[in-house]
Amino acid sequence: MADYLVIVESPSKAKNIGRFLGSRYKVDACVGHLRDLPASKLSIDIDNGFEPQYANIRGKSDIIKMLRDDAGAAKKVLIATDPDREGEAIAWHLEYLLGIDNAQVCRVTFQEITKKVVQDSVKTPRTVDLNLVNAYQARRVLDRLVGYEISPVLWRKVKKGLSAGRVQSVVLRLICDREAEIDAFKPKEYWNVTAKLSKISDAPKASDKFEAKYYGTADGKKKNLSDKADADKVLEDVRNSTFTVKSVKNTTKKRPPAPPFITSTLQQEASRRLNFPSAKTMSVVQSLYEGVAVDASGATGLVTYIRTDSTRVSEEAQDAARQYIAAEYGDKYLPGFRRVYKNKNSAQDAHEAIRPTHIDYTPDKVKAKLSSDQYRLYKLIYERFIASQMADAVFDVCNVDIIAGSSLFKASGSTPVFPGYTKVYEEKQDQKTEAEGKLPKLEEGEALNVDGIDAEQHFTEPPSRYTEASLIKTLTDLGIGRPSTYAQIISVVFTRDYVVRDKKLLIPTELGKTVNQYLNGAFPNIVDVSFTAGLEEQLDKVAQGERQWKDVISEFYMGLEEELKKALDETARVKVPDEVSDVVCDKCGRMMVYKQGRNGRFLACPGFPSCRNTKSIIENVGVNCPDCGKPLIYRHSKSGKKYISCTGYPECKFISWNVPTGDKCPKCGKHLEYVYNKSGKRFVACSSKDCDYKQYGRGKRGSKKDAPEGDGGESNSGNKEA
């Protein structure tokens, strides 16, 4: 019988930790929350100080019984749920369920799932941090009040099945406001005048040529060219003028590396570089944190805790990184100091940044043990961390002013002098920062050849629509929500059909615009950016013990109660306009509109009920049918599951859950298809049940996103915070 019972959240984590601790410890998994607010009612006693009415979660009774039995048999219980507010709340609920006194020293946290950290952590337990618990309770109650009080109003005033959320509704507003900016945008004309110049030489070389752009008047005043007449004046001014170098300024520019990842920056960069939705990023990185078997010693966590907004790095990790950099790249790639990155004022410094736990586990060393997605994300984390500890990149920058007539032209160029951290990693958005190229060596007073002068018309462009990456950056900059919840929140606006994705761009639907418009009028505080950010600051103060959580709730509810009454009594019902497609109804000639059904969006005739014509929205697989050669498309079963069918149906009856590769099996001649194992790693296999042919590797066509749901599709396990 074990002396100690250790309770963690994940079964896979329990297995790994149990191996580190030995036979004196028994490790159980509670599998997330065991108590919560019941979904069947508000479950908050508003008249009694907003007291939450928790209940055991349905379906968790067997786990609760197991934990009680094991706790009763152990000499001491250690609760090692995740090291964040939600993990602290789960620990608090476990204390209640197991009858453990709040003052008992039983709380353990693991910043990384490695043998040393786990063994050291169980030796230094503490009490459950009630400030963190209360911050969680405040957030939970606020979200329940908003969701359960406002959503029914949306059902009555807009449409059944809608939902509102404290952060979700602000996210929708940001996306809708950006769309409104784009719709209202009026392009303005402007012109660029570019001179193609070169050094005067008896033997001209390609490197002697460069371009300079018109800047303004010769005395240095900037002037914008707003129309063709302005551009023609410049052309006339310089037509017969000599282009002469007025000044040459050479400087050396240093560019420091980006800090190691925090939760929000990891989601942004994974979206930009890997095209990962935020939900997928959190799922994959959770598996890296919980542990992967990379050698004979068994599974170990490859990255530190993944829900963090601190860029702090331990001295031990810095030392390991510096040793690796010196050995791999040389001492000149080390800065002469330890890099310390400044956190935002709101950042909680309880955790380190997201970094590899073992520097010697390089991406190439562990690649064979990881799925493709795990490897790509681990490589991103590893290289970002190593780069964050390296020397600055150095560039020689040259800025040249050139006079022609009464006009001033400018040219600039940069030349890499020392790659520094860019030897390992550059942020996706910064890769073109120093892309001007090299200028020839120029001297003040030097006359130049004119190889041509071009005047080009341009128009200003509207602001870009949000991508997941830019939306997460905006939310982080505004201080709205927590980075660990962004994936779940963004998923909700998609599932509610408030927002659709066009490639990477987020576009509000007509339903989303209508809901946002109604919420702006009826519940201005709920969708107000500064109000929501201020509420986050109050929750942080609760976590730091500076405010009582029920006081925060009470102040919030006073305003909400007043808005609820006005919304029910004074606002009119709103009709959601149909989104018109470019498909003509083949029965009556009207333009068909998009509708939302149980299995997703479809096309319907707006002439209903006189015309009941509907059409499914065809989604091509991108591969031809292995039986008849016609294109394959996705369809949905009655239960809503996605499968693959031939456009030649009913003559061709080919169907499949898996995406065909387009190739034949070399062993039996049947078609090959993409299949996924339990860890999400893709391989090619024969479609015949009687053939065992398999081929591991990247394959030729398709990707995991092509897999229908239920066949190795992406999991959101690990995004426990909502």
% residues pLDDT > 90 (the chain)? 72
β-pairing, 55-56 vs 505-508, is unpaired
Q: What is the mean pLDDT of residues 140-149?
A: 95
**Which residue is it, tokens 């398999």?**
694
Q: Examine the pLDDT at 712 and tell me if it is beyond 80.
A: no
Please report the pLDDT score of residue 579 as a whole number.
82
Dist CA 488 CA 722 (whole Å): 6
Q: Are 438 and 250 in contact (CB under 8 A)?
A: no
pLDDT for 623 equals 87
Rounded Cα distance between 590 and 584, Å, is 6
- Report helix angle 263-274 to 278-290, nearest 10: 120
User: What letter represents residue 673's amino acid?
Assistant: E
Listed range (177-186, 371-380, 556-565, 699-708) with the worst mean pLDDT: 699-708
For residue 580, the surrounding DSSP H or E stretch is strand 579-584
Q: Quick check: is 305 catalytic?
A: yes
Residue with tokens 């209903």: 608
- Answer yes or no: is pLDDT of 89 > 50: yes
Mean pLDDT of the chain: 89
Strand, coil or helix: what is 200?
Answer: coil
Instruction: Provide Rg for the chain, Cα atoms.
Output: 31
More confident residue, 678 or 203: 203
Average pLDDT value for residue range 55-77: 95
CA distance 44 to 50: 6
Which one is catalytic: 305, 361, 382, 518?
305
Average pLDDT of the residues in 336-351: 74
pTM: 0.79
Q: What is the pLDDT of residues 423-466, one digit of tens each?
A: 999 876 544 444 457 899 999 999 999 999 999 999 999 999 99
User: pLDDT at residue 417 above 90?
Assistant: yes
Q: Which of 391, 405, 286 is nearest to 13 (CA)?
A: 286
pLDDT above 70 for 277? yes
Is the pLDDT assigned to residue 78 strictly greater than 80? Answer: yes
Confidence check: pLDDT of 699 > 50: no
Give pLDDT, residue 348. 53
Residues of the chain with pLDDT > 70: what percent?
93
Q: Determine contact, residues 261/351, Cβ cutoff 8 Å.
A: no
**pLDDT value at position 617?**
80
Token code pair at residue 227: 């129309």
The answer, yes or no, to whether residue 717 has pLDDT greater than 50, is no
Contact of 354 with 263, CB cutoff 8 Å = yes
pLDDT over 60 at 647, yes or no: yes
Q: Is 311 helix (H, G, I), strand (E, B) or coil?
A: coil
- Out of 100-109, 122-131, 201-210, least confident range: 201-210
Cβ(499)–Cβ(509) below 8 Å: yes
Is pLDDT of 253 > 70?
yes
Domains and CATH numbers, the chain: 4-128 (3.40.50.140), 137-185+464-570 (1.10.460.10), 189-256+393-459 (2.70.20.10), 267-378 (1.10.290.10), 579-616 (no CATH), 619-706 (no CATH)
Q: What is the pLDDT of residues 28-64, one digit of tens each?
A: 999 999 999 999 999 999 999 999 999 999 999 999 9
DSSP state of 151: H
Tokens of 402: 């050139």
Q: How far does Cα 219 stand from its chain's mean position? A: 47
Give residue 637's pLDDT band: very low, low, confident or very high (50, 70, 90).
confident
Residue type present at position 294: V
Q: How many CB atoms lie within 10 A of CB 315?
A: 8
What's the gap between Cα 521 and its chain centre? 30
Distance CA 531, CA 478 (A): 11
Cα separation, 118 vs 114, in Å, equals 6
Please determine, for residue 81, whether its predicted confidence score (pLDDT) is greater than 80.
yes
